[in-house]
Structure 1
Amino acid sequence: MAMNLRQIEMFRAVMATGSISGAARLLSVSQPAISRLLSYTEDRLGLTLFERVKGRVQPTPEARMLFAEVEQVHQGVTRVNELADELRRGGAGSIRLVASPSVGHMLVPKAVARFRHAHPEVRVEFEILTLSELIARIASHRADLAVTSMAVDDPTVKAVQIAEGRLRVIFPAGHPLEAKRVVKPVDLVPYPIIGYGSQTPYGVVVGRALGGAPQPIRFNAQVRFTPNACCLVQAGGGVAVVDDFVLMDDAWPNIRSRPLVPKTATRPHLLSSRVEPLSRIARRFVADLQSLLKAFPEDGEAG
């Protein structure tokens, strides 16, 4: 037999208070009612959940294992009730956003801030993930929207290009590369470069972009995400290649950048479910995001 919500609520109350009387007070019911429901639940489950010791109840190992799952159910029910209350008060619910690191550093937070200013009653959940992780979130309906820093071709999600940028070479202020208007792969040969994993999507893109150098380019450091590369460069730790979205709004005061040539385009995409239409809330967020992107320089020369 499966536990129903009433039994789950009773079980959690007994676990939380450590006694039948405490659970009764917490749930505003009589002690005999709690005792009867507890005995009925144990009988139907075929498990002993509590040992009675000197007027108190001690949870069995089985009860402790159940409690971990019950807490998750309780949190889910609580969120349903919160959402119902928001809707009853005229609120608009919630939106779950995920983004890859480059666009998640400045672009998406700026869009979230604009959206929150217009819709303060909406609950926003925002998380930075890898490309494979955010595709999985959208495909499994655990996120409403994802914003990626590069093209996505995956049959499990709907992907729409929302902008175009380019790769740029970044270095600390005062670096010799600052004298150049643009940077070619050959210009990077004298300098150790901060790179990415060769098997990661970003590492593949950067590796191809630097493949035209007449001599091997030395990678003396490796990071996972472009904001990590920016942190190292900001601290004077080397030279790196990033897209211009992570450099928005002069987010790194000590960093200088130049376009990498030949141009390597980066194409941020918006991901959503293939089978479910966007909610009204999600469409409003997309409008704010697109409004921000209209002001982004298409030639990628700013920054």
Structure 2
Amino acid sequence: MMTLRHMEVFHAIMVTGSVTGAARLLNVTQPAISAVLKHAESRLNMKLFLRCGGRLQPTEEAHAIFPDVAAIFGRVHAVGRLAQDLVGGRLGTLSVAAAFPIANGYLAKAMASFLVERPHVRCTLQSLTSPQVLDRVINREVEMGLAHEPIVSSAVDTQELMSWSLACVMPNDHPLVERDEINVAELEPYPIITYQPQIVFRPFVDRAFSQAGIAPVIAIQVSIALTGIMLARFGAGVAIVDPQLVDSMGIPGVVVRKLRPRIEAKTLIIQPKDAPRSIIVNDFVDHLRKVIRDGEI
């Protein structure tokens, strides 16, 4: 029987045409190549090469077995290339679940630019509610999730991705567009669009109005920021929502103005607790942070 080492030396001699070439290819000495070849021929009880004029000539038996040996080393080299691609983050899969405004905003842009240099990486991006995102991560249906705080579960690890603030989104002909920032009290005369009571941000909006001593007209309540932004665009009122989709999606006809006092929130990266992080996931998190840091959203 030929061992893998026998096959390696035989393959190297066949490819290079000489013991010297095989030694150079395998980075060993010529005597080492000769010794392995002699042992292989002894084990097989047949000659693989004949010396003719100082050169090795493959026997008919060598020609017969070479295609199968070459196929084996073709697969070995393929495995090596695969390992290099995996280490370099150029091959593999990436599965992410994210809250709707995140998935359809800067995350979509970051994933698109991430894949430009990694065309062989295959991605899955699910757009969900924050509780659904947490559920997907806990059940390990995705490798990572992105959602707004609070995230409370002993089954996951979290780290802050970014902090941001709710803002006023209004049509570009609204009376308040001349202001760089808007105090909550100034919104009293205008219909307000904001989140439904069960949405995590709504209590903070209500508290801001209460502390300002006003009772605005909540004309429309929505479950996601995009709905509020589009309602504001069509003149239904001033939307107090996550404003990031305005820039990331390039929504025309509306402007964003800062709200005072600030209603701050954080976006968290969620991953299964104690689960190994793939190279692709780590590279993507770094890329996502860079996209946000460089203001590409």
Tell me the alpha carbon deviations over residues 168-227 of structure 1, each in whole angstroms, 9 at most, x when there is no partner: 111001101112221122111111111221122132333333332322121111211001
Farther off after superposition, 224-233 or 153-162: 153-162
- State the percentage of identical aligned residues: 23
C-alpha RMSD of the superposition: 2.5
Between Structure 1 and Structure 2, which shows a larger proportion of strand residues?
2
Match of 1:162, SS state, is strand
Tell me the alpha carbon deviations over residues 242-269 of structure 1, each in whole angstroms, 9 at most, x when there is no partner: 2343333472221111111111222111
Query: Which residue of 1 is the match for residue 268 of structure 2?
Result: 269
Alpha carbons of structure 1 residues 164 and 171: separation in structure 2 relative to 1, 3 Å: same
How far apart, in 1, do the equivalents of 2:216 and 2:201 lie? 17
Query: Which residue of 2 is the match for residue 234 of structure 1?
Result: 233
Tell me the alpha carbon deviations over residues 27-71 of structure 1, each in whole angstroms, 9 at most, x when there is no partner: xxxxxxxxxxxxxxxxxxxxxxxxxxxxxxxxxxxxxxxxxxxxx
Query: Which residue of 2 is the match for residue 216 of structure 1?
Result: 215
Query: Which residue of 1 is the match for residue 279 of structure 2?
Result: 280
Shift of 1:88: 9.1
Alpha carbons of structure 1 residues 88 and 277: separation in structure 2 relative to 1, 3 Å: closer
**Letter matched to residue 153 of structure 2:** D
Matched, 1:292 2:291: yes
Match of 2:205, SS state, is helix
**Letter matched to residue 134 of structure 2:** I
Q: How does 1:88-127 map to 2 (within 5 A)?
A: 92-127=91-126
Structure 1's unaligned 5+ residue stretches are 1-83, 298-302
Work out whether residues 105 and 249 of structure 2, in 8 Å CA contact, stay in contact via their aligned partners in 1: no
Q: How does 1:130-149 map to 2 (within 5 A)?
A: 130-149=129-148
Work out whether residues 195 and 241 of structure 2, in 8 Å CA contact, stay in contact via their aligned partners in 1: no
TM-score, with length taken from structure 1: 0.65
Tell me the alpha carbon deviations over residues 252-287 of structure 1, each in whole angstroms, 9 at most, x when there is no partner: 221111111111222111111112021111111111
Structure 2's unaligned 5+ residue stretches are 1-78
Query: Which residue of 1 is the match for residue 197 of structure 2?
Result: 198
